[in-house]
Amino acid sequence: MSFLLSCPHCGPRPVDEFGYRGEVLTRPADDATLRELCDYVYFRDNVAGVQREWWSHRSGCELWFVAERDTRTNEVLRTEVPDTQRGSRQ
Amino acid sequence: MSRLPIQPGELLDRDTVVRFSFQGRSIEAFAGDTFGSALYASGRTLLSRSFKYHRPRGILCCRGHCANCMMTVDGTPNVRVCETPVRDGAVVEGQNVIGSLDRDLFSVVDKVGGPFTPVGFYYRTMIRPRRLWPLYERFLRNAAGLGKVPERDPHNRYDVEHREARVLVVGGGRAGREAAAEHAVAGPGVVLVDELPELGGLELPGVEVLAPARAIGVWEGGLVPVEHGNLLLRYRAQHLVVATGTIDQPLVFPGNDLVGVMLPGAVERLVERYAVKPGERAVVIAADDAADRARAALDQAGIEIVSTVRLTDGRTPAVAANGRKGQVRSVTVDGRTVDCDLVVMSGGRQPAYSLLAMAGAKVEYDAARGVLVPAAIPDGISATGSVTGAVGEQAVPAASYTAARSGKCFVCVCEDVTTKDVKRAVAEGFDSIELAKRYTTVTMGPCQGRYCHVQSIRLYAQETGADEAAVGATTARPPWTPVSMGLLAGRHLEPMKRSSLHHRHEESGASLIWAGAWKRPYAYGDVEQEVRAVHEDLGVIDVSTLGKLLVQGPDAAEFLERLYPNRFGDMKPGRIRYGVLTTDAGRIMDDGTVARLAEDSYYVTTTSTGADAVNGWFEWWNAIWGYDVEIANVTGALAAVNVAGPRAREALSALTDAPVSNDAISYLDAKELAVAGVTCLVLRIGFVGELGYELHCPSPAAEHLWDAIVSQGAVPFGLEPQRVLRLEKAHVIVGQDTDSESNLISAGMPWIAKLDKDDWVGKRATQLVQAAGVRECLVGFEMENGKLPAEGGQVVENGRPAGRVTSARRSAVLGKNIGLAWVRSEAAEEGTRIQIRVDGRPEPATVRHGAFYDPEGTRLRS
């Protein structure tokens, strides 16, 4: 794995500077069933294709951002700091 | 063998003599020589023993591609001496031999082993009995292979550099130089790398020339690592130009591996660059114009060409090279034998397309010329020169040139794979070239297929009846050249963190141990004495390693309320609470104290090893939540010491003008005080069970503060006494007593979880766990006899495992052996008698809840 990832703050950098946190997920509601919670905690879509995922520029500015990456080619389509509503549940 | 008079293009500086030793002999060389050329000039032509059969081998390519000249130089194995410049005083040794290069006991494998050691024999013959495999393996590893990895570091330093270039040109031949010069016109940022040392002095305006330097491969994202001495240069170029040229191809005939059988390029280099005469009488066997190319060099050196065999007419003569003691002595062509001591063989020139293929180009077989050529070269990369396939007219050589009942005929010299081996693989049903490659290991040696790929395809096509285009090329994968392991490992780095009090610990004679990436004092002397000092008088411990985060902003309270199971919003400024972080799976992640400094400001401490993870965790959640908070990691900026013991207040009072009475600073109060003139955040907490203050101060002032506290009679104590002291309070260490499965309910901390709070990370999971109940609980225990279980020891029920011990220590103040253990929830009641295995025997223990020492906490609060 040696592709470049574009940190929204620092620009394109080697991927080994970044930390990966996996797919962007939606947290289940307060009253989630055990199944829903387990889905969220343990199950991943693991798509062969474009995926939205969390990255942090760990050895750099430490910014957390979302990348859209094609898991088949490691082509990064775009990176962005997600637009969040204060206190959003996500 | 002898040195020629001065040659026009030679690289030698004949005024500078360099001496190195080989097998105890001193070899004289000139500056500019390689070890290989100097050995050849001295008459030494047998340089190595082959991988499997231990056959004598000498220079084949003379450009650092093949394994034929690999020797051990100054302890470093597998040095390709044909391209390694001589060093004064170096020690050069043969490798993969028992005895010497000339008398290698293992060469018996070549004489008798042939029929018994076909390709893959060890998969079939050395499998039973299975338990003997380690023995077989050890034997095989000794009997075959390359050099030995030195047990001691030969003291080479390696490093990695990241570099960028506008244009990276690989290959410094005519085409590469032209491309580089052309790109340099457009602007700076052009780099040219070439594997041969002679380009080192090349001056191209506007071009940075690196030589000798080898591009190892092309990786994803256009990464081209380049080996340049002990440096690995990780190049990213906007544009990559591949000008790697062609590779002389050997021919396949019996005896084609004898010392003295060479490729045309090797003869040229030996004569023209190193002024070495590689023989007296030469036979040239060529499928292309190599005879003409080599003739100039042969003439220049005064070598007589006794016979020329042209394979351009499509005939397939029976060829055999005959030798004595591994040296070629004659060549027989269709029954006619000619004496010679040099054979120049040429099977045409094959474009060196590997880098292009790694970058995504397709590879096609050109049936007319018998070469593989690159096609469909991806964007951002271009190929120029003969690597594109512009190799001129050449005849397609036969798969092999053999007579009946002839000797070994090598397809792959690196891995000692013969035509017989490939035929056998086909007969055994390896019906794709990729599978046959893995089975025979042809193309998998140090030359990475340079001198065996095309031949193996031809042979494979001949044996299977398919044509070469249908057989296809095997996938080109990095690395394209042998790379030393040190280069891949880079500089040896082991992160080590020291607190700002490190030198005080060293001066005090502390024994330092690893605690995560930190070096921390285990103890300064006697553990029991340090424990006693804290209980009876005064102790001080460096806790600077704790993670420290400042969480500030209008939303700070709400942010922490959502991160922690605890409640922090109702805390008054100046108060402290113990906090545990959980994940959405309900698992305990970290713990520490949270002090509210002001309405909108919290000071959070984490475990020593969890600082970075918790910082990242906070930042990540806030990237989702978007609260108006700032998270500042001040772990390194602040030092912290814990002053604990009955005399702690007295000592603090002596160092500050501020009131420190129990009312002024009560248990779980946080206050800013000047202590010994240093502004400190004083946290009154009790990890160790006695009256104590944790003083957080700017790191540069830590030594001054430490000295002031020690001058009050405080005894420094280390991690081990702290472990005893906290265990007496049954305080959990996250990661020691909990693991990735532990949750608040099972770890006995249900009171932490405020389930009536709005959403927090881990709330739903904790609710579900509470509803479902837990199978295991973390409890305290005390041993009923004097035995002390090991950490990790088993809790047993009726002889079966039923839990595990996570902490266990002798408490002198209690006169007991105590610990923490995970037990089945049925056995978790206070007073339950359990058994713990100690030295193999079950020993009785009793479950205890709460602190062992000062259970009411009066000492902490007084």
Which residues on chain A are in Cβ contact (under 8 Å) with B162?
A: 14
Nearest CA in chain B to A39: B585
Q: If you ran DSSP here, which 8-state letter would residue B114 be given?
A: G
Contact status, residue B585 vs residue B765, Cβ threshold 8 Å = yes
Could you read off the pLDDT of B7-25 as tens digits, one per residue? Answer: 998 999 999 999 999 988 9
pLDDT band at B396 (very low <50, low <70, confident <90, very high): confident
A1 contacts B220? CB cut-off 8 A: yes
List C-alpha distances in Å: B193 to B214, B286, B375, B418: 7, 30, 23, 35
Could you read off the pLDDT of B421-463 as tens digits, one per residue? Answer: 999 899 999 989 999 999 999 999 999 999 999 999 999 999 9
Nearest to A30 among B585, B619, B764 (CB): B764
Could you read off the pLDDT of B479-517 as tens digits, one per residue? Answer: 999 888 888 887 777 889 999 999 999 999 999 999 989
Contact status, residue B117 vs residue B98, Cβ threshold 8 Å = no
Please give the structure tokens belonging to residue B73: 């130089």
> Is residue B139's pLDDT more than 80?
no
Q: Is B616 on the interface with A (CB under 8 A)?
A: yes
Closest CA relative to residue B634, chosen from B550, B700, B546, B543: B550
Contact status, residue B821 vs residue B860, Cβ threshold 8 Å = no
Which residues on chain B are in Cβ contact (under 8 Å) with A86?
A: 555, 625-628
Indicate the pTM of the whole model.
0.82
- Supply the pLDDT for residue B234: 94
A87 contacts B623? CB cut-off 8 A: no
A41 contacts B759? CB cut-off 8 A: no
Percent above pLDDT 70 for chain B: 98
**Cα B581 to Cα B281: distance, rounded to the nearest angstrom:** 82
Burial of B62 (0-12, 13-18, 19+ CB in 10 A): buried
Nearest to B623 among A40, A41, A64 (CB): A64
Q: Is B223 on the interface with A (CB under 8 A)?
A: yes
> Is residue B727's pLDDT more than 80?
yes
Give the dihedral sign, CA B208/B210/B214/B219.
negative
Strands B91-93 and B13-22: parallel
A86 contacts B620? CB cut-off 8 A: no
Rounded mean pLDDT, B383-401: 89
**Cα B61 to Cα B266: distance, rounded to the nearest angstrom:** 5
A86 contacts B628? CB cut-off 8 A: yes
**Cα B551 to Cα B556: distance, rounded to the nearest angstrom:** 6
List, as own/partner pairs, every contact residues B310-314 make where C-beta atoms lie below 8 angstroms and the sequence separation is at least 24, other chains included: B310/B286, B311/B251, B311/B285, B311/B286, B311/B287, B311/B395, B311/B397, B311/B398, B311/B401, B312/B286, B312/B287, B312/B288, B312/B394, B312/B395, B313/B395, B314/B395
Strands B190-193 and B159-170: parallel
Q: Is B379 on the interface with A (CB under 8 A)?
A: no
Which residues on chain B are in Cβ contact (under 8 Å) with A31?
A: 764
**Strand ranges, E, within chain A:** 4-7, 11-14, 19-23, 50-56, 64-70, 75-80
CB under 8 Å to A15, separation ≥6 — which residues? A1, A2, A3, A4, A5, B221
Which residues on chain A are in Cβ contact (under 8 Å) with B615?
A: 62
A40 contacts B584? CB cut-off 8 A: yes
- Supply the pLDDT for residue B399: 86
Length of chain B: 862
Could you read off the pLDDT of B624-642 as tens digits, one per residue? Answer: 999 999 999 999 999 999 9
Q: Is B455 in a helix, a strand, or coil?
A: helix
Work out the minimum CA distance from B652 to partner chain A, whole angstroms.
Answer: 39
Which residues on chain B are in Cβ contact (under 8 Å) with A2?
A: 219-221, 223
Work out the minimum CA distance from B193 to partner chain A, whole angstroms.
Answer: 21
- For an interface test with A, give the residue of B617, B764, B770 to mutate (most A CBs within 10 A): B764
Nearest to A87 among B220, B584, B625 (CB): B625
Rounded mean pLDDT, B255-280: 94
A88 contacts B625? CB cut-off 8 A: yes
Between helices B648-655 and B702-710, what is the axis angle to 10°?
120
**Cα A1 to Cα A14: distance, rounded to the nearest angstrom:** 10
**Cα B58 to Cα B48: distance, rounded to the nearest angstrom:** 7
Size of interface A-B (CB pairs under 8 A): 74
Contact status, residue B401 vs residue B252, Cβ threshold 8 Å = yes
